[in-house]
């Protein structure tokens, strides 16, 4: 079976160059895709819509990665002082990719920010800061990168959902996850189903019930795939859905 070509979105960061920016993504994303027998391809920013479309058409699937916050105007909200790391160019690229994937039933996995982008692209809203807007929630933003490999809480996953099948839970309906976010899905988009939640009510998983594999998760499975079977299964399920027939 041919290996699927999986596009992985990137963010930007500062460098000591004339233009002041560089494209960047954690190496765990392409490694997780490759470990699941996919071929990772990084999708650049600062490209025109025709070039983006040409890249998209060659892809078998997409991973929307983690990163900074989505511009609140994208979901009809005023910007909170606690919203940070907004990259309007990245918002534009990722929202467009998500909408194309939904319209054309191309497999997509949204991770952390990507989970939130999927909801915004579909017409949903975000909570701009959990501590401010959900004061009863527990701490979801972690103090350091080492927490990417810790499992501080569980999420409950809806039986019968695509996410449940993808994780391979087989009778269980809870899975331990890592956590590194201060924002979350607010009002879910009408076309999406909430399929996983933390015990404090934070939405941790969404999916499109009428598409092969349009799934978003609030945690970071790409940091867990090598040691925790359910998170490896999630990438394998994406590859299966995206594999050229």
Residues annotated catalytic, as ranges: 112, 220, 222
SS3 44: coil
The pLDDT tens digits for 106-140 are 999 999 999 999 999 999 999 999 999 988 887 77
The pLDDT tens digits for 151-195 are 888 999 999 999 999 999 988 999 999 988 999 999 999 999 999
**For residue 243, pLDDT beyond 80:** yes
Sign of CA dihedral 131, 93, 230, 161: positive
The CATH architecture that domain 5-242 belongs to is 3-Layer(aba) Sandwich (3.40)
CA 127 to chain centroid, in Å, comes to 16
The pLDDT tens digits for 131-155 are 999 888 877 777 666 667 788 889 9
**For residue 224, pLDDT beyond 80:** yes
d(CA 137, CA 204): 13
Domain ranges of the chain: 5-242
């Amino acid at each position: 079976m041919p290996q699927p070509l999986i596009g992985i979105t990137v963010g930007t960061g500062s460098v000591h160059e004339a233009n002041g920016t560089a494209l960047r993504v954690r190496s765990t994303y392409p490694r997780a895709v490759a470990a699941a027998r996919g071929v990772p391809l990084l999708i650049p920013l600062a490209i025109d819509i025709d070039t983006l479309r040409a890249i998209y058409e060659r892809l078998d699937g997409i991973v929307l990665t983690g990163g900074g916050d989505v511009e609140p105007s994208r979901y009809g909200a005023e910007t909170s002082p606690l919203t940070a790391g907004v990259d309007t160019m990245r918002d534009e690229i990722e929202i467009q990719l998500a909408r194309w994937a939904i319209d054309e039933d191309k497999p997509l996995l949204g991770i952390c920010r990507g989970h939130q982008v999927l909801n915004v692209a579909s017409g949903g809203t975000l909570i701009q800061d959990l501590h401010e807007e959900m004061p009863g929630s527990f701490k979801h933003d972690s103090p350091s990168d080492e927490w990417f490999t810790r499992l501080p809480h569980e999420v409950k996953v809806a039986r019968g959902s695509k996410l449940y099948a993808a994780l391979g839970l087989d009778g269980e309906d809870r899975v331990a996850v890592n956590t590194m976010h201060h924002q979350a899905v607010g009002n879910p988009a009408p076309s999406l189903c909430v399929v996983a939640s933390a015990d404090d009510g934070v939405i941790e998983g969404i999916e499109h019930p009428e598409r092969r594999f349009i799934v978003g998760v609030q945690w970071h499975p790409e940091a867990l795939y090598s040691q925790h079977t359910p998170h490896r299964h999630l990438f394998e399920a994406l590859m299966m859905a995206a594999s050229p027939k």
